[in-house]
Structure 1
Amino acid sequence: MPRLPHPTPEELRRDPLPLRGRTALVTGASRRGGIGHAVARRLAAYGASVYLHHHVPHDAAMPWGADRTEDVIASVRAALGDPDATVVAGPGDLTDPAAPGELLATAAEALGGRLDVLVANHALSGSDGTLDAIDAAMLDAHWQVDTRSVLLLVQAFARHRAALPPRTPGGRVVMMTSGHDIASGMPGEVAYALQKGALASVTRTLSTTLAEHAVTVNAVNPGPVDTDYMTGEDYDAIAARFPAGRWGMPDDPARLVAWLATDEAEWVTGQVVDSEGGFRR
């Protein structure tokens, strides 16, 4: 096999919109304070058209509450780098086994029939406990949302990409882990840690499986991120454990996710990448 030549000077000059013409589905993008919203804004700023998945009832039941979908769409649309790109949003209850495939098909159709990037950012909050308190219902709830739905989304995405011309460029999957597997542990969140650890474990297997379709698969551990769920002394104590003296902000992991979606990251696959700002555990 011939060796590839060095890139030409023209190839080295980065397109200011490296995702121009690409399309992306970002799940769990229903709150402006969340990572999904930040990822969607970054992808849009890089030129992509973006489909925002939301499940408002979940956020409405949480202490932080839900945003209006119109406000989330407007925020992402304001970041669009390509005036020809679009932002679309739609609901999906990913506890339903049929929902991931339906969501993938809906997003692809809404964005012109082709989906290039899947960012599986959604997760279940609450419904968790210690080893002593955990029960089968809690474990099943997190399995359904945090793991099963992600695998079914990746399955649907793989089938979608397989139907495109061979080795169509731009295929990307990014999943989100939690860092529980490298941390000292969070004994009050056994179900969440278990299911997020499963995603970290399966990343390399999925990357090998999707390689024939020219799709990279990576996972991002965002570390502790300020998504409006903690205040007071606990917040300050966590901030002090970062060398920068601050929490991670949603845009911190979003920049990494957006880079993984570009052609510059086409040689990175099967990795769990930590984006933690030097967090001291």
Structure 2
Amino acid sequence: MGQESTASITGRFEGRVALVTGASRGIGLAVARRIVQEGGRVCVTGRKQEGLDAAVAELGGDTAMAVAGSADDPDHQDATVAAVLEQFGSLDVLVNNTGINPSYGPLAQADLGALRKILEVNVLAALAWTRKAVAAGLGAPGGAVVNIASVAGLKPAAGIGFYGTSKAALIHLTQQLAAELAPEVRVNAVAPAVVRTRFAGALFEGREAEVAATYPLGRLGAPDDIGAAVAFLASDDASWVTGQTLVVDGGLTLSGGI
């Protein structure tokens, strides 16, 4: 993005407060960084306090705060929303970024306990965070929710079948919530392909050039690519967009790959 276009979007989040889950690094941190760069304040969550402290230091202590905990823990959800309201006074944007994938391989061999945990974190926690944000006056009105899905939720993907199943459920949840929460709250999703993060490392480490060659745009995604897409959907630039899933995949699905 050129200097002129960057200047034109500065300030889209002036006076707004965002909560981004799973944001001590990777995509979540890139989302939080973009919101702060555009004038917003942000609360980041994650399991490890050390990582969150580093994120807040990068984002700026006057514009960022952090609350540590597990994304699917109701007490953590309640405490986080309360802390955001106490420190910043409002909540306008929710980004459900937390996702896990403790199961890899054929579904016929998958541990059902691990699959239940995937649903708890990737789907039910997103619903719980959304419900609590709305109850706290999300946008009051004019709020926005953005869920981080995956292209694996759009078509089958070898090895990550239940992760994809959970993301397909998240995409449908996005549509359902968009219908139920309109017109006060918009709900959209972003579906990335492989992004260069620690979470996705098993999908490209040691063979990045080979994997990147399968993408029409010739490279893997960067966290900032997703941060930019989320910022669009969360901003007033997308004020007439709800219930949509924006695919950000370097053209991968165009080539039939995933």
Partner of 2:234: 261
Can you list the C-alpha shifts for 1:249-277, whole angstroms capped at 9, x where unaligned? 00001101011111111100010110112
Residue pairs, 1:78-117, within 5 angstroms: 86-112=63-89, 114-117=90-93
Instruction: Give the root-mean-square deviation of aligned CA atoms.
Output: 2.2
Would you say how many aligned residue pairs link Structure 1 and Structure 2? 244
User: Could you tell me whether the CA contact under 8 Å between 1:27 and 1:120 is conserved in 2?
Assistant: yes
Residue pairs, 1:51-130, within 5 angstroms: 51-56=43-48, 68-77=51-60, 86-112=63-89, 114-130=90-106
Partner of 1:41: 33
Can you list the C-alpha shifts for 1:103-155, whole angstroms capped at 9, x where unaligned? 2222232222x100000001113244421221220111101111111100111
Partner of 1:10: none
User: Could you tell me whether the CA contact under 8 Å between 1:94 and 1:144 is conserved in 2?
Assistant: no
Can you list the C-alpha shifts for 1:212-259, whole angstroms capped at 9, x where unaligned? 4x21100100111111413222x2222002223211100001101011
Cα distance 1:69–1:94, how it changes in 2: closer, same or farther (>3 A)?
closer
Which of the numbers 184, 204, 213 marks the counterpart of 2:175? 204
Please, what TM-score do these two structures have when normalized by structure 1?
0.80
> How far does residue 175 in structure 1 lie from its aligned partner after superposition?
0.3
Partner of 1:218: 188
Please, what TM-score do these two structures have when normalized by structure 2?
0.87
- 1:25 matched to 2:19? The reply is yes
Partner of 1:142: 118
- Whole-angstrom CA distance in 1 between matches of 2:73 and 2:154: 31
Structure ranking higher in helix proportion? 2
SS at match of 2:153: coil
Can you list the C-alpha shifts for 1:193-222, whole angstroms capped at 9, x where unaligned? 12111011121210111114x211001001
Partner of 2:212: 239
Partner of 2:4: none
Cα distance 1:272–1:15, how it changes in 2: closer, same or farther (>3 A)?
closer
Query: Residue type of the partner of 1:104?
Result: V
Q: Structure 1 regions of 5+ residues with no counterpart?
A: 1-12, 58-66, 79-84
Runs of 4+ deviating beyond 6 Å: none
Query: Residue type of the partner of 2:68?
Result: P
> How far does residue 69 in structure 1 lie from its aligned partner after superposition?
2.8
| Sequence identity percentage | 35
Q: Structure 2 regions of 5+ residues with no counterpart?
A: 1-6
Can you list the C-alpha shifts for 1:8-54, whole angstroms capped at 9, x where unaligned? xxxxx9563111010000000112xx100100000000100000111
Cα distance 1:110–1:133, how it changes in 2: closer, same or farther (>3 A)?
farther
Greater C-alpha radius of gyration: 1
User: Could you tell me whether the CA contact under 8 Å between 2:20 and 2:44 is conserved in 1?
Assistant: yes
Can you list the C-alpha shifts for 1:81-108, whole angstroms capped at 9, x where unaligned? xxxx611011121232443333222223
User: Could you tell me whether the CA contact under 8 Å between 1:127 and 1:141 is conserved in 2?
Assistant: no
Can you list the C-alpha shifts for 1:155-193, whole angstroms capped at 9, x where unaligned? 11121227x7xx533x1000011111333x223223211
SS at match of 2:43: strand
- Whole-angstrom CA distance in 2 between matches of 1:36 and 1:197: 20
